[in-house]
Chains A and B, each alone.
Chain A
Amino acid sequence: MISDYEQRLISLRPRLLAFARLQLRNSDEAEDVVQEALLVATTNQDSFDGRSQFETWVFGILKFKILDVFRSEKRRAYWLTDSGDQWQDELDKQFRENERWQDDHRPQDWGDPEAILASSHFWRVFDACMIHLPDVPARVFSLRELMEVDIEEICSILNISENNCSVILYRARMKLRQCLEKGWLTEEDA
Protein backbone atom coordinates (compact mmCIF):
# COMPACT_ATOMS: atom_id res chain seq x y z
CA MET A 1 0.00 0.00 0.00
CA ILE A 2 1.46 3.34 -1.05
CA SER A 3 0.99 6.19 1.39
CA ASP A 4 -0.12 9.66 0.32
CA TYR A 5 3.34 10.87 1.13
CA GLU A 6 4.95 8.36 -1.21
CA GLN A 7 2.37 9.15 -3.84
CA ARG A 8 3.37 12.81 -3.73
CA LEU A 9 6.99 11.85 -4.15
CA ILE A 10 6.22 9.58 -7.08
CA SER A 11 4.31 12.33 -8.85
CA LEU A 12 7.28 14.67 -8.35
CA ARG A 13 9.73 12.23 -9.89
CA PRO A 14 9.45 13.24 -13.58
CA ARG A 15 10.16 16.91 -12.77
CA LEU A 16 13.05 15.98 -10.53
CA LEU A 17 14.48 13.84 -13.28
CA ALA A 18 14.11 16.57 -15.90
CA PHE A 19 15.86 18.98 -13.57
CA ALA A 20 18.71 16.58 -12.79
CA ARG A 21 19.19 15.72 -16.46
CA LEU A 22 19.53 19.34 -17.41
CA GLN A 23 22.11 19.92 -14.67
CA LEU A 24 24.15 16.76 -15.07
CA ARG A 25 23.57 16.13 -18.78
CA ASN A 26 23.91 12.42 -18.22
CA SER A 27 20.82 10.20 -17.90
CA ASP A 28 22.30 7.47 -15.70
CA GLU A 29 23.70 9.94 -13.22
CA ALA A 30 20.44 11.86 -13.22
CA GLU A 31 18.52 8.65 -12.39
CA ASP A 32 20.95 7.84 -9.57
CA VAL A 33 20.83 11.27 -8.03
CA VAL A 34 17.01 11.41 -8.14
CA GLN A 35 16.83 7.95 -6.50
CA GLU A 36 19.12 9.17 -3.73
CA ALA A 37 17.09 12.34 -3.21
CA LEU A 38 13.83 10.37 -3.05
CA LEU A 39 15.37 8.00 -0.55
CA VAL A 40 16.41 10.90 1.66
CA ALA A 41 12.95 12.43 1.34
CA THR A 42 11.33 9.10 2.29
CA THR A 43 13.52 8.33 5.27
CA ASN A 44 13.54 11.89 6.56
CA GLN A 45 9.84 12.51 6.28
CA ASP A 46 9.84 13.79 9.87
CA SER A 47 12.32 16.54 9.11
CA PHE A 48 9.93 18.16 6.66
CA ASP A 49 8.53 20.84 8.93
CA GLY A 50 5.60 21.75 6.71
CA ARG A 51 6.55 25.41 6.72
CA SER A 52 8.31 25.30 3.39
CA GLN A 53 6.43 24.06 0.39
CA PHE A 54 6.79 20.32 -0.01
CA GLU A 55 8.11 20.61 -3.60
CA THR A 56 10.66 23.22 -2.59
CA TRP A 57 11.88 20.95 0.18
CA VAL A 58 12.35 17.93 -2.12
CA PHE A 59 14.02 20.04 -4.82
CA GLY A 60 16.32 21.39 -2.12
CA ILE A 61 17.43 17.84 -1.31
CA LEU A 62 17.99 17.16 -5.00
CA LYS A 63 20.07 20.33 -5.39
CA PHE A 64 22.24 19.21 -2.50
CA LYS A 65 22.74 15.77 -4.07
CA ILE A 66 23.61 17.29 -7.45
CA LEU A 67 26.24 19.52 -5.86
CA ASP A 68 27.68 16.39 -4.25
CA VAL A 69 28.09 14.83 -7.69
CA PHE A 70 29.91 17.93 -8.93
CA ARG A 71 32.15 17.79 -5.89
CA SER A 72 33.23 14.21 -6.42
CA GLU A 73 36.84 14.37 -7.43
CA LYS A 74 36.96 11.69 -10.06
CA ARG A 75 34.20 13.28 -12.14
CA ARG A 76 35.86 16.66 -12.36
CA ALA A 77 38.17 15.90 -15.22
CA TYR A 78 35.18 14.65 -17.16
CA TRP A 79 32.97 17.61 -16.20
CA LEU A 80 35.54 20.01 -17.51
CA THR A 81 36.51 18.35 -20.75
CA ASP A 82 35.29 20.66 -23.45
CA SER A 83 34.16 19.17 -26.71
CA GLY A 84 36.16 21.66 -28.76
CA ASP A 85 36.80 25.28 -29.60
CA GLN A 86 34.32 25.47 -32.44
CA TRP A 87 31.57 27.16 -30.45
CA GLN A 88 34.09 29.66 -29.07
CA ASP A 89 35.11 30.66 -32.58
CA GLU A 90 31.47 31.20 -33.40
CA LEU A 91 31.22 33.63 -30.51
CA ASP A 92 34.32 35.55 -31.51
CA LYS A 93 32.88 35.96 -34.99
CA GLN A 94 30.26 38.30 -33.52
CA PHE A 95 32.94 40.94 -33.24
CA ARG A 96 35.11 42.61 -35.84
CA GLU A 97 38.88 42.76 -35.53
CA ASN A 98 38.63 46.04 -33.66
CA GLU A 99 36.34 44.23 -31.16
CA ARG A 100 33.20 46.12 -32.16
CA TRP A 101 29.99 44.33 -33.13
CA GLN A 102 29.72 42.89 -36.63
CA ASP A 103 26.76 44.59 -38.28
CA ASP A 104 24.83 41.36 -38.76
CA HIS A 105 25.48 40.27 -35.15
CA ARG A 106 24.31 43.42 -33.41
CA PRO A 107 21.86 42.59 -30.61
CA GLN A 108 18.27 43.27 -31.63
CA ASP A 109 15.42 44.74 -29.64
CA TRP A 110 13.63 41.93 -27.74
CA GLY A 111 10.78 44.05 -26.44
CA ASP A 112 9.42 44.36 -22.92
CA PRO A 113 11.28 42.10 -20.43
CA GLU A 114 8.16 41.41 -18.36
CA ALA A 115 6.24 40.30 -21.44
CA ILE A 116 9.17 38.09 -22.44
CA LEU A 117 9.32 36.32 -19.08
CA ALA A 118 5.54 35.81 -19.14
CA SER A 119 5.64 34.19 -22.58
CA SER A 120 5.52 30.40 -22.78
CA HIS A 121 7.16 30.67 -26.20
CA PHE A 122 10.16 32.32 -24.58
CA TRP A 123 10.49 29.48 -22.05
CA ARG A 124 10.35 26.86 -24.78
CA VAL A 125 13.15 28.68 -26.61
CA PHE A 126 15.07 29.01 -23.34
CA ASP A 127 14.88 25.25 -22.68
CA ALA A 128 15.88 24.43 -26.25
CA CYS A 129 18.85 26.81 -26.08
CA MET A 130 19.97 25.35 -22.75
CA ILE A 131 19.98 21.89 -24.30
CA HIS A 132 22.06 23.18 -27.21
CA LEU A 133 24.77 24.65 -25.02
CA PRO A 134 27.92 22.52 -24.97
CA ASP A 135 28.23 20.45 -21.76
CA VAL A 136 30.90 22.37 -19.87
CA PRO A 137 29.41 25.87 -20.17
CA ALA A 138 25.93 24.40 -19.62
CA ARG A 139 26.98 22.83 -16.30
CA VAL A 140 28.71 25.95 -15.03
CA PHE A 141 25.81 28.13 -16.18
CA SER A 142 23.30 25.83 -14.47
CA LEU A 143 25.22 25.98 -11.22
CA ARG A 144 25.46 29.74 -11.34
CA GLU A 145 22.15 30.86 -12.83
CA LEU A 146 19.68 28.04 -12.29
CA MET A 147 20.90 26.80 -8.92
CA GLU A 148 22.13 30.23 -7.80
CA VAL A 149 25.44 29.01 -6.41
CA ASP A 150 27.86 31.92 -6.06
CA ILE A 151 30.96 32.03 -8.18
CA GLU A 152 33.46 31.45 -5.37
CA GLU A 153 31.65 28.27 -4.40
CA ILE A 154 31.50 27.06 -8.00
CA CYS A 155 35.26 27.53 -8.32
CA SER A 156 35.84 25.55 -5.16
CA ILE A 157 33.37 22.79 -6.09
CA LEU A 158 34.90 22.34 -9.54
CA ASN A 159 38.41 23.21 -8.40
CA ILE A 160 39.01 25.76 -11.14
CA SER A 161 40.30 29.33 -10.99
CA GLU A 162 37.85 32.18 -10.74
CA ASN A 163 39.16 33.57 -13.99
CA ASN A 164 38.51 30.28 -15.76
CA CYS A 165 35.04 30.17 -14.25
CA SER A 166 34.28 33.75 -15.40
CA VAL A 167 35.39 32.97 -18.94
CA ILE A 168 33.17 29.88 -19.12
CA LEU A 169 30.20 31.83 -17.74
CA TYR A 170 30.78 34.70 -20.14
CA ARG A 171 30.80 32.36 -23.12
CA ALA A 172 27.74 30.46 -21.89
CA ARG A 173 25.77 33.69 -21.46
CA MET A 174 26.80 35.08 -24.83
CA LYS A 175 26.01 31.84 -26.57
CA LEU A 176 22.63 31.64 -24.87
CA ARG A 177 21.94 35.26 -25.81
CA GLN A 178 22.70 34.50 -29.43
CA CYS A 179 20.47 31.42 -29.45
CA LEU A 180 17.61 33.12 -27.59
CA GLU A 181 17.66 36.04 -29.98
CA LYS A 182 17.35 33.74 -32.96
CA GLY A 183 14.53 31.69 -31.43
CA TRP A 184 12.65 34.48 -29.73
CA LEU A 185 12.57 36.86 -32.68
CA THR A 186 12.00 34.45 -35.56
CA GLU A 187 9.29 32.15 -34.23
CA GLU A 188 7.25 34.62 -32.31
CA ASP A 189 4.07 33.89 -34.24
CA ALA A 190 4.39 30.13 -33.97
Chain B
Amino acid sequence: MLTCQQATQLMSSRLDHEMPITKKMNLKLHLMMCKSCRRCDDQLDLIHQAGKQWYQRVIEEQATKSNDPEK
Protein backbone atom coordinates (compact mmCIF):
# COMPACT_ATOMS: atom_id res chain seq x y z
CA MET B 1 0.00 0.00 0.00
CA LEU B 2 1.38 3.40 -1.01
CA THR B 3 1.76 6.21 1.48
CA CYS B 4 0.41 9.64 0.50
CA GLN B 5 3.92 10.94 -0.02
CA GLN B 6 4.78 8.06 -2.36
CA ALA B 7 1.50 8.57 -4.19
CA THR B 8 2.32 12.24 -4.84
CA GLN B 9 5.71 11.22 -6.26
CA LEU B 10 4.00 8.87 -8.71
CA MET B 11 1.49 11.58 -9.67
CA SER B 12 4.36 13.83 -10.65
CA SER B 13 6.33 11.18 -12.50
CA ARG B 14 3.38 10.09 -14.61
CA LEU B 15 3.23 13.60 -16.05
CA ASP B 16 6.70 13.03 -17.48
CA HIS B 17 6.57 9.50 -18.80
CA GLU B 18 4.55 6.34 -19.13
CA MET B 19 4.46 4.41 -15.84
CA PRO B 20 4.80 0.63 -15.36
CA ILE B 21 1.42 -1.04 -14.93
CA THR B 22 1.99 -2.11 -11.30
CA LYS B 23 2.76 1.44 -10.24
CA LYS B 24 -0.27 2.66 -12.16
CA MET B 25 -2.51 0.18 -10.34
CA ASN B 26 -1.04 1.05 -6.96
CA LEU B 27 -1.64 4.73 -7.56
CA LYS B 28 -5.17 4.12 -8.79
CA LEU B 29 -5.95 2.09 -5.71
CA HIS B 30 -4.57 4.76 -3.42
CA LEU B 31 -6.51 7.51 -5.19
CA MET B 32 -9.76 5.57 -4.84
CA MET B 33 -9.36 5.64 -1.10
CA CYS B 34 -7.75 9.02 -0.42
CA LYS B 35 -9.62 12.25 -1.07
CA SER B 36 -6.65 14.48 -0.28
CA CYS B 37 -4.49 12.70 -2.82
CA ARG B 38 -7.26 12.84 -5.42
CA ARG B 39 -7.33 16.60 -5.01
CA CYS B 40 -3.56 16.79 -5.17
CA ASP B 41 -3.60 14.72 -8.36
CA ASP B 42 -6.21 16.99 -9.97
CA GLN B 43 -4.20 20.04 -8.97
CA LEU B 44 -0.89 18.73 -10.33
CA ASP B 45 -2.73 17.93 -13.52
CA LEU B 46 -4.12 21.47 -13.61
CA ILE B 47 -0.61 22.87 -13.14
CA HIS B 48 0.53 20.71 -16.06
CA GLN B 49 -2.24 22.13 -18.26
CA ALA B 50 -1.60 25.65 -17.00
CA GLY B 51 2.05 25.37 -18.04
CA LYS B 52 1.04 24.63 -21.63
CA GLN B 53 -1.51 27.42 -21.70
CA TRP B 54 0.91 29.84 -20.12
CA TYR B 55 3.19 29.83 -23.17
CA GLN B 56 0.25 30.23 -25.52
CA ARG B 57 -1.09 33.10 -23.41
CA VAL B 58 2.22 34.95 -23.56
CA ILE B 59 2.20 34.74 -27.35
CA GLU B 60 -1.45 35.57 -27.80
CA GLU B 61 -1.45 38.48 -25.39
CA GLN B 62 1.01 40.15 -27.71
CA ALA B 63 -0.88 39.14 -30.82
CA THR B 64 -4.07 40.75 -29.53
CA LYS B 65 -2.25 43.91 -28.55
CA SER B 66 -0.36 44.37 -31.79
CA ASN B 67 -2.85 43.11 -34.35
CA ASP B 68 -6.12 44.41 -33.06
CA PRO B 69 -6.47 48.16 -33.67
CA GLU B 70 -9.96 48.15 -32.15
CA LYS B 71 -8.57 47.66 -28.66
- Chain A residues engaging chain B, CB cutoff 8 angstroms: 8, 11-12, 15, 18-19, 53, 55-56, 59, 95, 98-101, 106-110, 113, 116-117, 122-123, 126, 141, 144-148, 150-151, 166, 169-170, 173-174, 176-177, 180-181
Query: B51 — which chain A residues lie within 8 A by C-beta?
Result: 141, 144-146, 148
- What's the minimum C-beta distance from A99 to chain B, rounded to whole angstroms? 3
Q: Is the CB of B13 within 8 A of A170?
A: yes
- Select B40's contact among A100, A107, A117, A151, beta carbons within 8 Å: A107
List 22 A-B residue pairs with CB atoms under 8 Å apart, sorted by A's residue number: A8-B66, A11-B62, A11-B65, A12-B66, A19-B58, A55-B62, A95-B3, A100-B4, A100-B5, A110-B39, A110-B46, A113-B42, A117-B49, A117-B50, A141-B51, A145-B48, A145-B52, A147-B55, A150-B16, A169-B12, A170-B8, A177-B43
Q: Which secondary structure dominates chain A's binding surface?
A: helix
Using a Cβ cutoff of 8 Å, how many contacts connect chains A and B?
A: 105
Chain B contact-residue range equals: 35 or more
Q: Is the CB of B62 within 8 A of A12?
A: yes
Q: Which secondary structure dominates chain B's binding surface?
A: helix
- Chain B residues engaging chain A, CB cutoff 8 angstroms: 3-6, 8-9, 12-13, 15-17, 36-37, 39-40, 42-44, 46-55, 57-63, 65-66
Query: A148 — which chain B residues lie within 8 A by C-beta?
Result: 51-52, 55
Query: B61 — which chain A residues lie within 8 A by C-beta?
Result: 15
- Select A99's contact among B6, B46, B58, beta carbons within 8 Å: B6
